[in-house]
Amino acid sequence: MKKASAIFSIAVGISMVLMWIMFYITGSIPELETEPARIGMHLSAEFITAIALIIAGWGLLTRKSWARPIYFLATGALIYTMIQSPGYFMQSGETGFVAMFAVFIILAVIFLVRMIKSD
């Protein structure tokens, strides 16, 4: 289960970074002009979460003693962002993103519970 959790963590972390890069390149972040402080803080939280997920996943794969606590912290941040972020896409009528978040939150909770039980 640790390996699956690690791979999920790394994949989601990388996906988060790539998604925001794609949004930036395509000019799909209008809040950079209209609400720069709010989106700046949001992006900071997203990138910190993504980096923590990648580090936690790498730590789990390489059996580092610090990996589990980082994994729990990063996954908690991920679950928070997956609860908070879909609202933007709901308002925009982008149901594909809402569905994606729903699938990822279910997977994140499953991996988290399985990791907790693996003690």
Can you tell me the distance from the alpha carbon of 17 to that of 12, in angstroms, rounded to the nearest whole number?
9
Where is pLDDT greater, at 12 or 89? Answer: 12
The pLDDT score that the predictor gives to residue 19 is 94
Which band of pLDDT confidence, cut at 50, 70 and 90, is reported for residue 76? very high
Per-residue confidence band for 2, with pLDDT thresholds at 50, 70 and 90: confident
pTM of the model: 0.91
Which residue has 């890069």 as its token pair? 21
pLDDT given for residue 97 in this prediction:
87
44 within 8 A of 36, measured Cβ to Cβ? no
Looking at every residue in the chain, the average pLDDT score rounds to: 94
Enter the tokens of residue 24.
């930036």
Is 35 strand, coil or helix? Answer: coil
Per-residue model confidence as pLDDT tens digits over 15-45 = 999 999 999 999 999 999 999 999 999 999 9
31 residue type, one letter: E
> Per 3-state DSSP, what percentage of the chain is helix, strand, and coil (rounded to 5)?
85, 0, 15
- Judged against a pLDDT cut of 80, whether residue 63 lies above it is answered with yes
